[in-house]
Amino acid sequence: QGMAWVMAKILRISGAESISVAANVFIGQTEAPLVVRPYVSGMTPSELLTLMVGGMATIAGGVLAAYVNLLGGTDPAQQLFYAKHLLSASIMAAPATIVIAKILVPEVQESQTMGTVKVTVEKTTANVIDAAATGAADGLKLALNVAAMLLAFIALIAMINWILQGVFTEILGIMINGKPVTLQVLLGYLLSPIAWVIGVPWEDAISIGSLIGQKIVINEFVAYIELSKLIPTGELSEKATIIATYALCGFANFSSIAIQIGGIGGIAPNRRKDLAKFGLRAVLGGTIATMMTATVAGVLTSLL
């Protein structure tokens, strides 16, 4: 709540969105909205996008530990090295989230939580047993919503890749560096100039661009696995590795649209259409926010 108070005062945002963004630094994109659950249904469009971008631009504390082990291997020194960078990436992404969200959808309405960061939750259960039963039912409903949306979006991406491979690779015989034409491969090459712009050395730009493409199309877990394979080979410079660690540190991918529609839409069904409308914008906002933190990391790496 202290972090939320600072952001609310400095950036002049509402209590609900500042608390949700602060919560996203430590918990996941489906859990953070629960912190401001009473206010989600009445959020302004700008607040709702901020909530979504906050989930896209950060990672949950639980998976952060997994990525530390993935990138650092069995070396405690390397684990500490990547832990500091991953935690820094999530914290830095909080103000970046607000800046980008307000650019994408400026605030033009008055928020019901403007000027306060105190969120009160109305008691809706009679006792501990009722609370446990209600929590279990709500949790199951949320999990089923997320699972159904996730399956649908993964199937959609698989269908797009099947069409691309069928047309370009199997019929036309086109391969890209020995790889079949897929959405993530195409995005990788398209994003290589972006990787260079944020500070990645040009010789590493295609590799990092490919990782960013995989992160957007599939998820950051797959991208971090690929990065963990490249680190021991010495193919990437230290600067490129650090920038990639920051650029991949977020849930901004197509599947997260489904997760947020299922998760946030589960607690505020009246906002489901808005969530779908803002889905791609949230992915864009989350991606730009992580690129901003990666750029700052690249600049500091060059100076130190």
**Residue 169 Cα distances to 7, 126, 154, 173, 177, angstroms:** 49, 61, 21, 4, 12
| pTM confidence score | 0.80
In this structure, what token pair is assigned to residue 281?
Answer: 């914008």
Q: Residue 259: its pLDDT value, please?
A: 86
pLDDT in tens, 60-79: 877 888 889 888 888 889 98
CB 290 within 8 A of CB 249: yes
What is the C-alpha separation between 176 and 304, in angstroms, rounded?
A: 37
Give the domain ranges of the chain.
2-117+143-303
pLDDT tens digits for 109-125? 877 767 665 555 555 56
Query: Mean pLDDT throughout 13-26?
Result: 84
Name which of 198, 224, 200 is nearest 211 in CA terms. Answer: 224
- Mean pLDDT, the chain, rounded, equals 84
Cα–Cα distance, 297 to 238 (Å, whole number): 12
Dihedral sign computed on CA atoms, order 181, 185, 187, 188: negative
